[in-house]
Amino acid sequence: MKRLLSHMFLWLLIFGVFCPHPSFSATDREQEVREAVTAFVTSRTAGMGWDVSIRRMNITGAAKLPEGAIDYEVKPQQQWGGWGTTSIAVVARQKERVLRNITVRIEVEALADTVVALHQIAQGEVVSAADVVSQKREITYNSSHAVRTVDEVIGKKTRTTIKANQPLRADQVEKVPLVKVGQIVTIVAENEVMKISVSGKARSSGAEGDIVRVQNLSSLKEISGRVIDASTVQVQF
């Protein structure tokens, strides 16, 4: 019996030497978390047409994870769009058991096509193709109102002075009014059967497609209509 136990101990020793169990260092675990977060950011920003890169990533708690295969679930803050500085929670699970919530602080840089002023554009000027250009610019801290294509601003009037090399925001331009307050216009009401036209006076200003108030000069009644061109407002009939 003792001899059998000795043989078993020898075989176990040999197996332990030549077939060691996999082990993971703290560095290995941090790399796993880093790869999980990187993959998540790449997936989150895919299809946006941006050049995205992670500038910084600080990981807290990955070194305390045990050995063995671990699954990582990345949970960002609810309002995070995929860029800028934020904290992300990474849930580490092993065989469906939660091991640890890891806090990861990241700073993500995003470059996107942005419309930039080629020179200073004064307030009230109508933007032309010679005034702007599309360039790759960082939108990390200026994403919500940045203009993406030149078509969004060409033909519109600036609401404020725009400096040279400055990215344009959507709230810095507005459509040029075709109809202005006090202007005499033609009020048109039509359907498949008939068309009626009367003279009217604009009570509000508006660009093409805008809804404005107009006064019927015959009845003096005010109604709402859609601006068709510089002299025509269409109302529902």
214 with 139, same domain? Answer: no
User: What is the per-residue burial (b if ≥16 Cβ within 10 Å, else e) of 41-73?
Assistant: beebbeeeebebeeeebebebbeebeeeebebe
Q: What is the CATH number of the domain that holds 76?
A: 3.10.129
Average pLDDT over residues 198-206: 94
Q: Is residue 8 part of a domain?
A: no
Judgement on whether residues 170 and 198 belong to the same structural domain of the protein: no
Residue 18's pLDDT is what? 46
Sole residue written with tokens 């800028």 = 84
Instruction: Output the pLDDT for position 73.
Output: 95
Residue 4: what pLDDT? 44
**Residue 9's pLDDT is what?**
44
Residue 76's contacts (CB-CB under 8 Å, 6 or more residues apart) are 40, 44, 86, 88, 89
Question: Are 41 and 89 part of one and the same domain?
Answer: yes
Q: Cα separation of 108 and 76, whole Å?
A: 13
Give yes or no: residues 36 and 104 share one domain: yes
Say if strands 184-190 and 232-235 run parallel, antiparallel, or are unpaired: parallel
Mean pLDDT over the full length of the chain:
86
Q: For residues 228 and 237, give the distance between their C-alpha atoms in angstroms, rounded to a whole number.
A: 15
pLDDT at 21 over 50: no
User: Do 205 and 144 share a structural domain?
Assistant: no
* Residue bearing the bigger pLDDT, 6 or 186: 186
Give the model confidence (pLDDT) of 52-79 as tens digits: 899 999 998 877 888 899 999 999 988 8
C-beta of residue 185 within 8 angstroms of C-beta of residue 233: yes
Q: Does 153 lie in the same domain as 103?
A: no
Residues of the domain holding 79: 24-110
